[in-house]
């Protein structure tokens, strides 16, 4: 994934803990570079190793590291570095989620080598919807849950997110029930 993803993970660890903790995570992960160039692609294994090392170092399940990372990504990385793009994407949680399929289409202009996930609203009611998520990558479902929670916080909304069905039940995608 692009360097900005690994940088965002570093930012999360340094803001909740400190630089020394991040250095121990780099060491545990066997990652040699001490900084990431934001617009340069890195092998996905770098990100996965960093998440696993963060989980071991912080004594926190990997799923919970990924979820915290999703929240942090929306509330800090995306808002601070891509504010106008985030603002243009909607004025409420459901509006933003409807726009999500097109959001990364705009991001591709900045990062041409992206291997992007796809999103689609599969069903919806007055205060809920089912968000479909297709990805080349495995195991990032808790990250998506965290992203949606971060979006809800951004709009000052309460939200419940659960994985209704998915690759673990034989589908080719995952389905999140989002209630607000
Ligand atoms: C303007 C804001 C955003 C930017 C600049 C951005 C950019 C990126 C980048 C660079 C990656 C790494 C992919 C790669 O290197 O191949 C990524 C991955 C991802 N993004 Fe975004 N993104 C943004 C907002 C969002 C939001 C709001 C969501 C909400 C659901 C989201 C969902 C994801 C997911 C789930 C991945 C993991 C990749 C995968 O599942 O295969 N992104 N994004």
Q: How many CB atoms lie within 10 A of CB 14?
A: 14
Tell whether ligand 1 has an atom less than 6 A from the beta carbon of residue 177: no
- Altogether, the residues listed in the chain come to a count of 180
Q: State the distance from the centre of ligand 1 to the C-alpha of 31, rounded, in angstroms.
A: 22
DSSP letter string, 161-175: EEEEE-GGGT-SSEE
Which of 44, 78, 99 is the pocket-test mutation for ligand 1 (most atoms within 8 Å of CB)? 78
Residue nearest to atom 21 of ligand 1 (CA): 104
Tell whether ligand 1 has an atom less than 6 A from the beta carbon of residue 8: no
For residue 106, the model assigns a pLDDT of: 85
Q: Which atom of ligand 1 is nearest the CA belonging to 4?
A: 10
Residue 112 is classified by DSSP as T
Residue nearest to atom 37 of ligand 1 (CA): 117
Per-residue pLDDT reduced to its tens digit, 72-119: 999 999 999 999 999 999 999 999 999 998 998 888 888 888 899 999
Tokens for 90? 């909607």
Residue ranges in the chain whose pLDDT is less than 50: none
The model's pTM: 0.96
User: Measured between alpha carbons, how far is residue 101 from residues 20, 36, 54, 116, 147 in Å?
Assistant: 38, 27, 30, 10, 14
Residue among 107, 100, 112, 102 nearest 81 (CA): 107
For residue 34, the model assigns a pLDDT of: 82
Q: How many CB atoms lie within 10 A of CB 138?
A: 9
For residue 104, the model assigns a pLDDT of: 87
For residue 70, the model assigns a pLDDT of: 97
Distance, CA of 180 to CA of 173 (rounded, Å)? 23
Q: Which residues pair with 175 in a beta bridge?
A: 132, 165
């Amino acid at each position: 994934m692009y360097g900005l993803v690994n940088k965002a993970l570093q930012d999360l660890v340094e803001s909740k803990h400190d630089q020394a903790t991040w250095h121990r995570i780099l060491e545990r992960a066997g990652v040699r570079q001490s900084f990431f160039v934001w617009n340069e692609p890195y092998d996905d294994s770098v990100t996965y190793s960093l998440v696993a090392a963060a989980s071991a170092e912080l004594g926190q399940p990997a799923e919970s590291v990924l979820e915290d990372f999703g929240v942090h990504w929306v509330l800090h990385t995306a808002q601070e570095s891509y504010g106008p793009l985030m603002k243009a994407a909607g004025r409420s949680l459901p509006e933003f989620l409807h726009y999500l399929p097109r959001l990364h289409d705009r991001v591709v202009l900045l990062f041409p080598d992206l291997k992007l996930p796809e999103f689609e609203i599969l069903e919806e009611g007055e205060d809920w919807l089912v968000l479909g998520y297709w990805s080349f990558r495995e195991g990032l479902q808790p990250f998506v849950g965290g992203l949606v929670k971060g979006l809800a916080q951004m709009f000052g909304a309460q939200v419940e997110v659960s994985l209704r069905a998915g690759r673990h039940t034989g589908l080719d995608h995952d389905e999140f029930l989002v209630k607000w």
